[in-house]
Structure 1
């Protein structure tokens, strides 16, 4: 006698009876409703009743002009951008089988934005189709680099996010450099860089809209193949799918959509991440909703809801003028950062990014070799300081410097050198502080790709500093340091608490830190454009890192932080050695994990916050210096810490000198130079890590 076990019935859901087509139609109805609300908002006094009278009695001519010239172009731009980004993110997540892939995390938007900004900086007035083609080429180049470094995103979420973050940072640095050097030609690009729906007419939507629809149709036609690809590369190959060709074409379709969105409204952040995630959260019991021929248009409609909803919320809370001043991409980025944090808490990365992959690091070296390295680094730093004092828009001689130290120079040289030495010392102190902080963060995270900036500490300090500058432009240095410290502490505490889930996962810590960094950057942009939409100089000074205008009193906080935090981290050196190995060894040997982590992170936060208050946001120093130190003297923190401090000071000092001298009298912020120098190193690190993972 056989017993048949009846499978339990799937739980009924409110949407199941609708079917996939019904869900799409319901979402479309929601889009229509949100669009009706969106078109009633604006800076003029024309309201909903005035617009409702237009079809019946002609209404007011003013209402018709406002509708056609301002509100309808803005509405259609939001629809086109949301549709393009929602579909683009879905395609990228499908081919990489990674829920955190999007045009933002793959630096597609940053690449497209850089291409458009470069054209504007060099005075090229391109018609819209050529501008869109240029954005497409920039986005394609960025996406190709990130996917190559991350092996398509299939061997680890952390690797994908870090590769995209590094590429986006490098492209942002290049864009900021162009805006600094060509300030008049790029006026207004800073706010546009966070996405703007302000449109003067319908030309952009009319010309780019058909391309978006055609690309969407092509993606839907490939939907069945994408469903098969979701079963795995081997299965798809057996079923006759050319996996490499399919990925190539789908990547091209995705980048075309993202570039079209940038052409219309600039890079509106994280819509391509949020929309697919929301669609994938729909219950699996809903028939056909997760098949690509349904999921793609549905994600596009959800993207429209996100863009229009963010714009509505922005103007409802801050007023109609905020729709002009504040980019809606700020709101979508904050939403996307929240989604990214949720994903990081839900998914665990399996990518092999914890082991230092780029150099052969010997655990021990002779004391003589260590002393030789320290002496060489100290002499190199002394030479960099000497060069920094000589170089600038006005070059001086060594004899002039000796006379200045003895108080025997004339008024002109005295003025030059009095202005120069605080800048040189600020670069040295900030570089050392960031390097020590990076060494501590990498040990706590057990991730050689981590740094204070990746964990949101730098961006949090930047939010505090920018907030104070916007409210009190003449704030004192101690107030600036205190507020920057508060911002860094708040960001780091949030990252740490959100990362804790029955233990501290290094992958989760990094991913949540990247989300926090994006949120803090969005808040910084909003503060700047609300305070003074056209004052990009204030923004770029902090976001790019600069020693310009530093005075001796500004060096005191970072010097005190080095005196306090460096001995603390050095005292924890043996615990950090064990902490960098794994989770179990420190416990077995009696190391109190959480107190050590908190103490090391507190020291890193103190160092980072004061460094930001001294020179602004300088990236990659906390990543490069610890790696180079371990390559030179081994992994023991007793030796790596002093060498990392010397190398960090050397890097920022040389970057500051180069920025002051290469295009003098114009200046390039030190943060941009370190990003441009650090990106190739980071790319090499990821490439070696990728090769090791494949092996």
Structure 2
């Protein structure tokens, strides 16, 4: 009895300590936030403007611009943190948050769609649009991950795939309506900029209502942490409690998106920061997470504004991603202790198709490759007859056609096709290395790292020649891979850890890309085209960069054939036949990283090719790595070239980046794959 009372006293003291520390941090950060910006304002002026306002420019600036921004940061941070607590409780998943469940991406797409197609309604009902989009995205992730039986890895992968799909659709809408969506890039990265009190007045009642609901059902939320049978035996209506909690979580997250844009990681970091002190009861967890979430987001925005004179206005969402990435890595290490060695780390992809031989499929996709590449050369603003294409490629043809084909279309086609081959083979290698058929260079952070490295040289070191860009991409891709592999090394390169750490590194890399794009003041269209992946304006220099890499690396990938095949049997079985599992996984990963980095240097951040092509090849040929690699290469060459071709001709004279087209084409298949995988019986 005395021990229980002492334990309760200890928890109570920790709760009080966390509350006092959080409120103190909140007070200090808020005042520092009010001093930051383009205008140099002292702390004394801030205090005077709040306690004894006068009709002075600095006082007006503080009360009408900076104070609303700081209050909006406090409200948004509290809302996101509380939403994270509720989502983690409902899903019983420590990795659940508004970002990993796709709520931010869904709400963002809905708000942008309303802005374009129903501007009057969106102006009056922006929250309704955001809630509908966020709810649909969360339900999709929940269903694709296998419902209540979804593992942390499945939910993280499902959330990332849904987010990629929705983000690609949003990017396409923005690119096609650039005039209407001017200024949306900064907001879409998560910005707390407020020019008046309208955002605060709109948001605070909804956020307060969500927090009240969470506190009112605190005891029921505690019961949700128990098993369903136990909770029901104690008289709890589990289904109703989950629905109300998730509804409140989605409302809290979507209110912030509708006002300040999608901001991630606050709902992941703040709840775990509180739980580290041993506080698990929701009566203390929800308010403490809200306080610390408010402090974290306001602090991130303060950090962003500290560099406004040097780098311009930086989005708070990018800063939170940079902070949250390491936190997600740490969480991945913790989660891996519970799942390490279980078969749940790999995700079943379905069996092999029953018709067609390997040689038949190679012949089919080889012919399809020639057809698509030929159609790409023929199509454009000026159509070129097939006979002229053949004539030019044979060394003849008319001068006008020769110039168009040899100077523009052919190098662009080869860049797209060869990059597709590189991404597909990279994806095939990575899927075997992480033992997950939903692995991809984008998911494990390589593409984002390569993109960040290339942009770093282009934007921050413009004096270097363009020929250095691939080197920057390779360095960036290798740096991202080193982070992922070093963090996973102590776990034996466990597939779960590798994938979760990769997701964190990818988020941090994307945030870094956003920061550099905003710093460079690039227009929305070029920025989105780069981030989505584009072959626009590519020439022979890019072809000469990627060709030697393929000549060198593809034979090495082929040589690893038998070793890679053994990885599919599991670490213990592979080691039992003499395979050095960790080294094989490392060699496979290095080749995959180099291929993906070179491709990213030439076409930007293209997703889905490394996901779609290897899986399609596996369905057609089974588990043989060398056969998979050949078919993956052919399919990848077809997919990216076809995406580039369709992006050029579907909405002429405008163009859609190839990366967006691949996402739109691949989304239905990937969603079907996740759904089918979630319904397959699990091996015991």
TM-score, length-normalised on structure 2?
0.94
1:248 to 2:239 alignment: no
Alignment-derived partner of residue 191 in structure 2? 196
Match of 1:426 among 385, 394, 415: 415
Offset at 1:99? 0.6
Q: Residue 93 of structure 2 aligns to a residue in which SS?
A: coil
Alignment-derived partner of residue 293 in structure 1? 283
Match of 2:304 among 310, 314, 317: 314
Offset at 1:24? 2.9
Distance 1:669 1:352, change over 3 A: farther
Contact 2:115 2:122 in 1 (8 A): no
Alignment-derived partner of residue 372 in structure 2? 384
Q: Which blocks of at least 5 consecutive residues in structure 2 are unaligned?
A: none
The 2-side partners of 1:152 and 1:475 are apart by 51
Offset at 1:396? 1.9
Alignment-derived partner of residue 538 in structure 1? 526
Alignment-derived partner of residue 658 in structure 2? 670
Match of 2:492 among 496, 500, 503: 503
Q: How does 1:44-63 map to 2 (within 5 A)?
A: 44-54=39-49, 58-59=53-54, 61-63=56-58
Q: Residue 325 of structure 1 aligns to a residue in which SS?
A: coil
Q: How does 1:157-236 map to 2 (within 5 A)?
A: 157-236=152-231
Q: Residue 119 of structure 2 aligns to a residue in which SS?
A: coil
Contact 1:357 1:688 in 2 (8 A): no
Alignment-derived partner of residue 326 in structure 2? 338
Q: How does 1:67-146 map to 2 (within 5 A)?
A: 67-122=62-117, 124-126=119-121, 129-146=124-141
Alignment-derived partner of residue 350 in structure 2? 359
Contact 1:477 1:553 in 2 (8 A): no
Contact 2:80 2:267 in 1 (8 A): yes
Match of 1:482 among 457, 466, 471: 471
Distance 1:279 1:153, change over 3 A: farther
Match of 1:238 among 233, 242, 261: 233
The 1-side partners of 2:148 and 2:555 are apart by 40
Residues 456-494 of structure 1 deviation map (CA, whole Å, 9 limit, x = unaligned): 111110001111121355864531111100001111011
1:467 to 2:462 alignment: no
Alignment-derived partner of residue 156 in structure 1? 151
Contact 1:112 1:138 in 2 (8 A): yes
The 2-side partners of 1:334 and 1:304 are apart by 17
Offset at 1:218? 1.1
Offset at 1:141? 0.8
Offset at 1:410? 3.8
The 2-side partners of 1:383 and 1:238 are apart by 64
Q: Which stretch has the larger CA shift, 470-479 or 265-274?
A: 470-479
Contact 2:424 2:611 in 1 (8 A): yes
Q: How does 1:406-421 map to 2 (within 5 A)?
A: 406-418=394-406, 419-421=408-410
Alignment-derived partner of residue 444 in structure 1? 433
The 2-side partners of 1:53 and 1:268 are apart by 32
Alignment-derived partner of residue 304 in structure 1? 294
Alignment-derived partner of residue 424 in structure 2? 435
The 2-side partners of 1:130 and 1:374 are apart by 53
Distance 1:236 1:128, change over 3 A: farther
1:512 to 2:501 alignment: yes
Alignment-derived partner of residue 638 in structure 2? 650
Alignment-derived partner of residue 555 in structure 2? 567
Residues 69-93 of structure 1 deviation map (CA, whole Å, 9 limit, x = unaligned): 2111111110111011011111000
Match of 2:313 among 325, 340, 345: 325
Offset at 1:55? 6.0
Q: Residue 347 of structure 1 aligns to a residue in which SS?
A: helix
The 2-side partners of 1:252 and 1:6 are apart by 40
Contact 2:232 2:238 in 1 (8 A): yes
Match of 2:363 among 347, 355, 375: 375
The 2-side partners of 1:56 and 1:452 are apart by 54
Distance 1:601 1:17, change over 3 A: closer
Residues 114-169 of structure 1 deviation map (CA, whole Å, 9 limit, x = unaligned): 11122333472556551111111111111110011113464311100000000101
Q: Which stretch has the larger CA shift, 410-419 or 383-392?
A: 410-419
The 2-side partners of 1:29 and 1:179 are apart by 41
The 1-side partners of 2:21 and 2:473 are apart by 46
1:522 to 2:511 alignment: yes
Match of 1:578 among 566, 575, 578: 566
Alignment-derived partner of residue 273 in structure 2? 278
Alignment-derived partner of residue 591 in structure 1? 579
Contact 2:106 2:130 in 1 (8 A): yes
Contact 1:353 1:447 in 2 (8 A): no
Distance 1:17 1:121, change over 3 A: closer
Residues 622-664 of structure 1 deviation map (CA, whole Å, 9 limit, x = unaligned): 1111111111112111211111111111111111111111111
Distance 1:172 1:575, change over 3 A: same
The 2-side partners of 1:579 and 1:639 are apart by 16
Contact 1:455 1:495 in 2 (8 A): yes
The 2-side partners of 1:21 and 1:9 are apart by 16
Alignment-derived partner of residue 541 in structure 2? 553
Contact 2:531 2:605 in 1 (8 A): yes
The 2-side partners of 1:358 and 1:160 are apart by 16
